[in-house]
A and B are shown apart, each in its own frame.
Chain A
């Protein structure tokens, strides 16, 4: 490994080094604020380092890692999301977990981010698997961090069992592919995929199928989605936001890179499987969300549906499809962070504001916060003036450009279903009868959290009105 290689990995080096530094800091002095500030600085430094590298030539390190614009873009995205999440975490920890040890939380958070951001630059099964495990193992602990709340332990355990099983699927899939081809790097697999095109080799297809199961689990796609609502509900809102954004974002990037580099698009069977998964995710996600009365569960189902939408672009293939998927995941992350942020900053000392009764008449009590939440919900629903609409437009164009009429049609139909539950939440917020007095009153939002939400809100609105710059940026990624 040359000096240039290490330099190009600088963001990751900063993050990894920062984690060690934080551990030492904790040993020296237990102070929530201090550790929080240290974490923010470390993440910011990593973002800056990644930004500096953005315009450099792609750096290939062995066959294992490639640091290119695509990877760096995703790293910046994931790190920024972690930055926002750690702010929400600070609020949440202070409220719900006082007088306990809160400092290790940030170490785990950064470790999980490290795993996710390593994943987006992996080009080899080994680096892929190691980074996904780093992410998952940190997540087990994060999900059940509030160990005195019974649902947290349940959620953590559920995630542990299922994630371990899905890792096994993933590993077995990789092993099968390796057994046939003797290759583990994506580059080398490209040649294999070309040679074995057609369905001549059952083992290769089986391997790919098992990998789809593993990846489907990590992205909570139907029918591998069962864990998502329980985990989202049991974990604290910032952690749920982390699962929904950073964890999924990293896997999406890897999926795009894996399929583009090995050109698995040529396998009709694999694409058919993804088409079915996309259709199921869009429909089931939205239909199941209809029945939810818990905002966190609702957001869980909504994010299942959104990943289904994203697959429409993914299936559309190289070029436009990849760009659309990248654009959409960016928008999705912004919006879902905002939505979970609202739930976080409304939380009280004894419970989170996850029941819809907390939101009754919110519009008249906290107009700014309710307006922001409305904005995020409308963006999730894909209504113009918000970024979500542009994202959905991009997806549809990519899908139709590849003549995926069925997928596009289902996307449209299921987003109408989706509208229904987003609207219901908005209706709850604007209900003005006196009964909102009787509804549960949520906690008082903190200034810092409100400010963060406003930044997210401005981005969502701004990208809805002039998305040009982001589209141009996304188009320069290979």
Chain B
């Protein structure tokens, strides 16, 4: 009930905020702040009271309620370590988005917060859904309000950007919907039970080709969302044109829904097909890392630059997911959280700058450190975080991912490592162009206010905390990560078992049984990781 409550809470506050906006501009902000704070408190409460390590692979909490029984559709939410982390990130970044838009958004304040809270509700729904229909439903629910956020409160080219964003994500989403229906019907024909229940759909038996096609539908929706090259072109436009809060949510949360989808749905539902697809995915990941970095380096628009950093960082995530081992996967989880925070912070800095000097053009900035030392220093922290500076969260994440994927594919990992070098170049370029060097124009510009300092310091604490104590995050996610790895590797072991079995019967050999115990394979992996 708590889980459904979270979503109802956000939606309810959204409607209230809209209504309140008719009378007052501050009231919607306070209502939103209140709603998201409660969500954050609930998440912290779940985090503290439920020792995740103890219950391996089980849901910490579930909620089931029938919705459209005629089609086997139910409202089923579940939370495990992975979802918990994502929900925590959602609430955290949500809170900061409300705070950053406190002064920035001054027209249609009520409707703005309505949309903001509905996006957050949709995202929360995505991270909690255990019913594929409900998942798709939430997946779509988060689009419309995001579309409004970009197209009403965005910058000069907002209409184009919002169209592009919507058509890309909606089109790929519909393909995923076809795949969901395909899976539903195949499972129904096999077992006679027509259901969208995630746990029941796991292990659906189907033809390898069918599985591969269905998987492609899912994968397409998710990699469009996480803006893998060549499906990345919506992202720079959307991120650049969105208002600051929109950029923070896009980069920090919306991209993560794609990652989450890959981990939660694609790998467990289509283990075989995922193995077939892995080489392609890893190559796409590496291409995204390098191409994203190259494009980031070439940008003259600060927000566009940061957007391409996201493309590059999401490449690491794709590489890590398809390495199929615990270490890389833990790195992916870490990267999701760390990227959410560091890129969110960079967008807030870019947004504040834009608000003050009305330009995002790097050519017009320069030498700003002397005037706004606080912003400069904080900018340096997050630039360092993005380039993977040891001691900050992103370093741990990228290290784990590269280490893990090295075990899976050495050549690609070596190429991917070049991305770290490129990261240094593009990241330092931000510092150089914005804060150092010669002053291009004499700007009259105010430094961070107390409210903004509060936001940024919270972010700094978070990113340092993750860098120094990564185990806090990793222990929470470990059970879920192990379960995913198990579901992928288990199949591999099973097929190997089947092959071995055939061999043994053919050759009348009885000595192989020990090697073919199911689960043996991933045990060795997790040992290595420890």
Interface residues of A (CB under 8 A from B): 364, 378, 383-385, 389-390, 393, 396-397, 400-401, 408-409, 412-413, 415-416, 419-420, 423, 427, 430, 432, 466-468, 471-472, 475
- Binary CB contact string for chain B from 20 to 61 against chain A (1 if under 8 A, 0 otherwise): 000000000000000000000000000000000000000000
Contact between A419 and B177 (Cβ–Cβ < 8 Å)?
Answer: no
Q: Which residues of B contact A432 (CB under 8 A)?
A: 107-108, 152
Candidates A420, A427, A466, A471; contact of B71 at CB < 8 Å:
A471
Bound-complex Cα distance A298 to B159 (A):
21
Contact between A423 and B174 (Cβ–Cβ < 8 Å)?
Answer: no
Contact between B70 and A472 (Cβ–Cβ < 8 Å)?
Answer: yes
CB distance from A162 to the nearest CB of B (A): 35
Bound-complex Cα distance A430 to B107 (A):
13
Contact between A400 and B178 (Cβ–Cβ < 8 Å)?
Answer: yes
Of all chain B residues, the one with the shortest Cβ separation from A397 is B181
Contact between A385 and B141 (Cβ–Cβ < 8 Å)?
Answer: yes
Contact between A423 and B166 (Cβ–Cβ < 8 Å)?
Answer: yes
Bound-complex Cα distance A432 to B67 (A):
39
Contact between B70 and A475 (Cβ–Cβ < 8 Å)?
Answer: yes
Which B residues from 151 to 171 make CB contacts under 8 A with A? 151-152, 159, 162-163, 166-167, 170-171
Closest 3 CB pairs of A and B: A384-B140, A416-B171, A412-B174
Candidates A390, A401, A409, A423; contact of B178 at CB < 8 Å:
A409
Q: Which residues of B contact A415 (CB under 8 A)?
A: 174
Tell me if B148 is interfacial: C-beta within 8 Å of chain A: yes
CB distance from B193 to the nearest CB of A (A): 15
Q: Which residues of A contact B167 (CB under 8 A)?
A: 416, 419-420
> Contacts A396-B177, A427-B151 known; A389 to B71 CB distance under 8 Å?
no
Q: Which residues of B contact A471 (CB under 8 A)?
A: 68, 70-71
Q: Which residues of A contact B69 (CB under 8 A)?
A: 468
CB distance from B177 to the nearest CB of A (A): 7
25 contacts between A and B (CB under 8 A): A378-B144, A383-B140, A384-B137, A384-B140, A385-B141, A393-B181, A396-B181, A397-B181, A397-B185, A400-B185, A408-B181, A412-B177, A413-B171, A419-B166, A419-B167, A423-B163, A427-B162, A430-B151, A432-B108, A466-B67, A468-B67, A468-B68, A471-B68, A472-B70, A475-B70
CB distance from B250 to the nearest CB of A (A): 18
| SS of B interface (majority) | helix
CB distance from B441 to the nearest CB of A (A): 28
- Binary CB contact string for chain B from 66 to 107 against chain A (1 if under 8 A, 0 otherwise): 011111000000000000000000000000000000000001
> Contacts A389-B140, A400-B181, A432-B107 known; A419 to B71 CB distance under 8 Å?
no
Q: Which residues of B contact A472 (CB under 8 A)?
A: 70
Q: Which residues of A contact B108 (CB under 8 A)?
A: 364, 432
Contact between A430 and B68 (Cβ–Cβ < 8 Å)?
Answer: no
Q: Which residues of A contact B185 (CB under 8 A)?
A: 397, 400-401
Q: Which residues of B contact A393 (CB under 8 A)?
A: 133, 177, 181
- Binary CB contact string for chain B from 114 to 156 against chain A (1 if under 8 A, 0 otherwise): 0000000000000000000100110011011001100110000
Bound-complex Cα distance A299 to B281 (A):
42
Most A CB within 10 A of own CB, among B159, B163, B178: B178
Q: Which residues of A contact B171 (CB under 8 A)?
A: 413, 416
Bound-complex Cα distance A384 to B143 (A):
10
| SS of A interface (majority) | helix
Contact between A468 and B174 (Cβ–Cβ < 8 Å)?
Answer: no
Contact between A468 and B175 (Cβ–Cβ < 8 Å)?
Answer: no
Contact between B67 and A412 (Cβ–Cβ < 8 Å)?
Answer: no
Interface residues of B (CB under 8 A from A): 67-71, 107-108, 133, 136-137, 140-141, 143-144, 147-148, 151-152, 159, 162-163, 166-167, 170-171, 174-175, 177-178, 181-182, 184-185
Bound-complex Cα distance A245 to B163 (A):
30
Q: Which residues of B contact A384 (CB under 8 A)?
A: 136-137, 140-141
CB distance from A275 to the nearest CB of B (A): 18
Of all chain A residues, the one with the shortest Cβ separation from B70 is A471
Q: Which residues of A contact B151 (CB under 8 A)?
A: 427, 430
Contact between B182 and A416 (Cβ–Cβ < 8 Å)?
Answer: no
Bound-complex Cα distance A389 to B174 (A):
11
Candidates A408, A409, A412, A427; contact of B159 at CB < 8 Å:
A427
Bound-complex Cα distance A443 to B133 (A):
42
Q: Which residues of A contact B182 (CB under 8 A)?
A: 400
> Contacts A416-B170, A423-B166 known; A397 to B71 CB distance under 8 Å?
yes
Q: Which residues of B contact A412 (CB under 8 A)?
A: 174-175, 177-178
Contact between A468 and B70 (Cβ–Cβ < 8 Å)?
Answer: yes
Contact between A467 and B170 (Cβ–Cβ < 8 Å)?
Answer: no
Bound-complex Cα distance A413 to B175 (A):
9
Bound-complex Cα distance A390 to B162 (A):
25
CB distance from A79 to the nearest CB of B (A): 26
> Contacts A427-B151, A467-B68 known; A420 to B163 CB distance under 8 Å?
yes
Of all chain B residues, the one with the shortest Cβ separation from A401 is B185
Q: Which residues of B contact A468 (CB under 8 A)?
A: 67-70
Q: Which residues of A contact B174 (CB under 8 A)?
A: 412, 415-416
Bound-complex Cα distance A426 to B151 (A):
10
Q: Which residues of A contact B177 (CB under 8 A)?
A: 393, 396, 412
Bound-complex Cα distance A378 to B151 (A):
16
Q: Which residues of B contact A430 (CB under 8 A)?
A: 148, 151-152
Q: Which residues of B contact A413 (CB under 8 A)?
A: 171
Bound-complex Cα distance A173 to B67 (A):
46
Q: Which residues of B contact A390 (CB under 8 A)?
A: 68
Q: Which residues of A contact B107 (CB under 8 A)?
A: 432
Q: Which residues of B contact A409 (CB under 8 A)?
A: 178
Bound-complex Cα distance A384 to B70 (A):
18
Bound-complex Cα distance A383 to B142 (A):
11
CB distance from B269 to the nearest CB of A (A): 17
Q: Which residues of A contact B175 (CB under 8 A)?
A: 412
Candidates B148, B166, B178; contact of A408 at CB < 8 Å:
B178
CB distance from A462 to the nearest CB of B (A): 13
Q: Which residues of A contact B163 (CB under 8 A)?
A: 420, 423
Of all chain A residues, the one with the shortest Cβ separation from B138 is A384
14 more CB-based (< 8 A) A-B contacts, given A400-B181, A430-B151: A378-B144, A383-B143, A397-B71, A397-B184, A400-B185, A412-B175, A413-B171, A416-B170, A416-B171, A420-B167, A423-B163, A432-B107, A468-B69, A471-B68
CB distance from A376 to the nearest CB of B (A): 14
Q: Which residues of A contact B140 (CB under 8 A)?
A: 383-384, 389
CB distance from A334 to the nearest CB of B (A): 18
Q: Which residues of A contact B143 (CB under 8 A)?
A: 383
CB distance from A204 to the nearest CB of B (A): 34
CB distance from A138 to the nearest CB of B (A): 38
Candidates B67, B136, B170; contact of A419 at CB < 8 Å:
B170
Q: Which residues of A contact B184 (CB under 8 A)?
A: 397
Bound-complex Cα distance A64 to B184 (A):
41
Of all chain A residues, the one with the shortest Cβ separation from B11 is A385
Bound-complex Cα distance A224 to B349 (A):
58
Q: Which residues of B contact A475 (CB under 8 A)?
A: 70
Bound-complex Cα distance A432 to B185 (A):
45
CB distance from A212 to the nearest CB of B (A): 28
Of all chain B residues, the one with the shortest Cβ separation from A378 is B144
Q: Which residues of A contact B133 (CB under 8 A)?
A: 393
Q: Which residues of B contact A396 (CB under 8 A)?
A: 177-178, 181
Q: Which residues of A contact B159 (CB under 8 A)?
A: 427
Bound-complex Cα distance A471 to B184 (A):
18
CB distance from A187 to the nearest CB of B (A): 30
Q: Which residues of A contact B181 (CB under 8 A)?
A: 393, 396-397, 400, 408
Bound-complex Cα distance A389 to B181 (A):
14
Bound-complex Cα distance A416 to B224 (A):
15
Q: Which residues of B contact A408 (CB under 8 A)?
A: 178, 181
Q: Which residues of A contact B70 (CB under 8 A)?
A: 468, 471-472, 475
Bound-complex Cα distance A432 to B159 (A):
12
CB distance from A26 to the nearest CB of B (A): 46
Bound-complex Cα distance A409 to B166 (A):
19
CB distance from B159 to the nearest CB of A (A): 6
Of all chain B residues, the one with the shortest Cβ separation from A402 is B185
Contact between B144 and A383 (Cβ–Cβ < 8 Å)?
Answer: yes
